């Protein structure tokens, strides 16, 4: 028995466009497939494409970061090597400057010592000459004084 034949069942099972006929599930299936196709074409693919692009960009960024870190590490090592070389050069320059200054100081001290010794020698020579002349004068005066005393004593 068909439900369309029964007048009291028609009202109960009459769902309008959604009554259970063969074309309704086929129509719904086609409608769902069209919606799925449209959603896939208009929503899922662009979203998945942007997610893939973002993933690629993140991978490239990570790769770039790793390369930059390697470059930074290499540059730090080069910097440390150059800094060590510069420190060694500075230490060598300081040592050479200290040695040169010490040699100049020793030269100045030797020259000052030589000058002082020369002046001392000249002063000693002058003093010896003056002592000699004073002795001679003292001898002459003491001789003259002795003569005066002898003449006065003999008088």
Q: How many domains does the chain divide into?
A: 1
pLDDT (0 to 100) of residue 124? 92
Can you tell me the distance from the alpha carbon of 96 to that of 90, in angstroms, rounded to the nearest whole number? 10
Residue 2 lies in a domain: no
pLDDT (0 to 100) of residue 21? 62
pLDDT surpasses 90 at 61: yes
Residue 26 lies in a domain: yes
Query: What single-letter DSSP state applies at residue 19?
Result: S
Q: Which structural domain range is residue 106 located in? A: 7-154
Instruction: Say what percent of the chain tops pLDDT 70.
Output: 85
| Cβ atoms within 10 Å, residue 84 | 10
pLDDT (0 to 100) of residue 141? 86
Residue 1 lies in a domain: no
Residue 150 lies in a domain: yes
Residue identified by tokens 């993140």 is 58
More confidently predicted of 113 and 142: 113
pLDDT surpasses 60 at 131: yes
Can you tell me the distance from the alpha carbon of 51 to that of 44, in angstroms, rounded to the nearest whole number? 10
Q: Give the tokens for residue 98.
A: 């200290």
Low-confidence winner among 7-16, 102-111, 117-126 (lowest mean pLDDT): 7-16
Q: Is the pTM of this model over 0.85?
A: no
For the chain, the first-to-last Cα distance in angstroms comes to 202
Residue 23 lies in a domain: yes
Average pLDDT over residues 70-86: 97
Confidence of residue 146 (pLDDT cuts 50, 70, 90): confident
| Cβ atoms within 10 Å, residue 9 | 13
Confidence of residue 28 (pLDDT cuts 50, 70, 90): confident
Residues ≥6 apart with Cβ < 8 Å to 20: 13
């Amino acid at each position: 028995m068909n439900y369309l034949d029964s007048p009291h069942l028609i009202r109960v099972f009459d769902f309008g466009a959604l009554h259970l006929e063969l074309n309704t599930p086929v129509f719904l299936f086609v409608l769902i497939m069209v919606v799925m196709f449209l959603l896939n074409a208009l929503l899922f693919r662009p979203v998945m494409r942007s997610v893939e692009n973002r993933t690629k960009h993140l991978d490239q960024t990570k790769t770039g970061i790793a390369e930059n870190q390697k470059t930074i590490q290499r540059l730090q090592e080069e910097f440390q090597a150059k800094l060590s070389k510069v420190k060694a050069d500075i230490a060598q320059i300081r040592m050479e400057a200290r040695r040169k200054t010490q040699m100049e100081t020793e030269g100045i001290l030797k020259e000052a010592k030589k000058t002082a010794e020369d002046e001392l020698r000249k002063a000693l020579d002058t003093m010896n000459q003056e002592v000699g002349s004073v002795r001679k004068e003292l001898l002459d005066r003491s001789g003259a004084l002795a003569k005066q005393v002898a003449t006065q004593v003999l008088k």
